[in-house]
Amino acid sequence: MLGALAPAAAAGPTVEWASGPARVAVVELFTSEGCSSCPPAERWLAARVDDPGLWRDFVPVAWHVTYWDRLGWRDRFARPEFTRRQYDYAAAWHEDSVYTPCWVRNGTEWRPGADAAAGAPAGRLRVRYDAAAGALHVAYEPPAGAGTAFAVEAVRLGCGIHSRIRAGENEGRELAHDFLALAAVQGGLVPGPGAWTAALNLPPGPDAEVPRQALAVWVTRRGSPTPLQAVGGWLEH
């Protein structure tokens, strides 16, 4: 089935996923615990946990950014590299500023409910992740004419996380987070017979407060933040 992901190929800590040739969308939310407009956006994202298209048609990621931290509440999930990603998009869009909540779908500003283009051929992406070793192996077979230099990004996600906010715009509220980016790694893909490949290290976190974890992986053209093809899935404890 086009765009479908294969289930885990083996029991235990090692999982394998593979995309079909149609593009699997990457839906990104730039958000912050310090932003009073962000909780509704995060609730929309949380509702995707039971969406039948999850992992098959789209891979969601919530990036917590740092630029709200100075306004009364320090978001413990915000990272400078997540903020830089949003600025990279803004630069690609020829924009001077960034904002939250900001939705991005396949590298383009987007809003939930807006029409999305059908998945065009985007090549096949295969991933094997050994959680015990933190070893991630990636193989990408690009479609004809896709280019000659590719990179990969992998993000460990947390779901079912709760924070009690004691200051700032959301003071007194308890916020829930799903598909929250906990850690990310990047690397270049190396050409080989039939596929571009990479080996990355992404150890699982102890994260006792994270009820459920997932993994999102996508490929880009080198030097661009825009995903070309993606896979993802749940990681069992």
Write the pLDDT tens digit of every residue in 190-223: 999 989 999 999 987 777 689 999 999 999 999 9
Distance CA 85, CA 163 (A): 24
pLDDT at position 237: 57
Write the pLDDT tens digit of every residue in 131-165: 889 999 999 999 987 778 999 999 999 999 999 99
Burial class, 53, CB count within 10 angstroms (exposed 0-12 / middle 13-18 / buried 19+): exposed
Residue 169, both tokens? 């715009």
| Residue 28 near residue 63, CB atoms below 8 Å | yes
Average pLDDT in the 106-124 region?
82
Q: What residue spans define the domains of the chain? A: 14-110+122-235
Length of the chain counted residue by residue: 237
How large a percentage of the chain has pLDDT more than 90?
Answer: 81
Q: How confident is the model at residue 69 (pLDDT cuts 50, 70, 90)?
A: very high
Average pLDDT of the chain, as a whole number: 90
116 vs 105, which has greater pLDDT?
105
Distance CA 50, CA 52 (A): 6
State whether residue 21 is helix, strand or coil: coil
DSSP letter, residue 175:
E
> Cβ–Cβ contacts within 10 Å for residue 221, how many?
16
21 vs 1, which has greater pLDDT?
21
pLDDT over threshold 60, residue 50: yes
Among candidate residues 214, 212, 202, the one with its CA nearest the CA of residue 55: 214
Helix (H) or strand (E) holding 46: helix 38-46
pLDDT at position 119: 61
State whether residue 183 is helix, strand or coil: strand
DSSP letter, residue 205:
P
Q: How confident is the model at residue 4 (pLDDT cuts 50, 70, 90)?
A: very low
Distance CA 143, CA 139 (A): 13
Distance CA 10, CA 85 (A): 34
How large a percentage of the chain has pLDDT more than 70?
Answer: 92
> Cβ–Cβ contacts within 10 Å for residue 32, how many?
27
Q: How confident is the model at residue 117 (pLDDT cuts 50, 70, 90)?
A: low
pLDDT at position 118: 57
Average pLDDT in the 43-57 region?
96
| Residue 168 near residue 190, CB atoms below 8 Å | no
The CATH superfamily holding the domain 14-110+122-235 is Immunoglobulins (2.60.40.10)
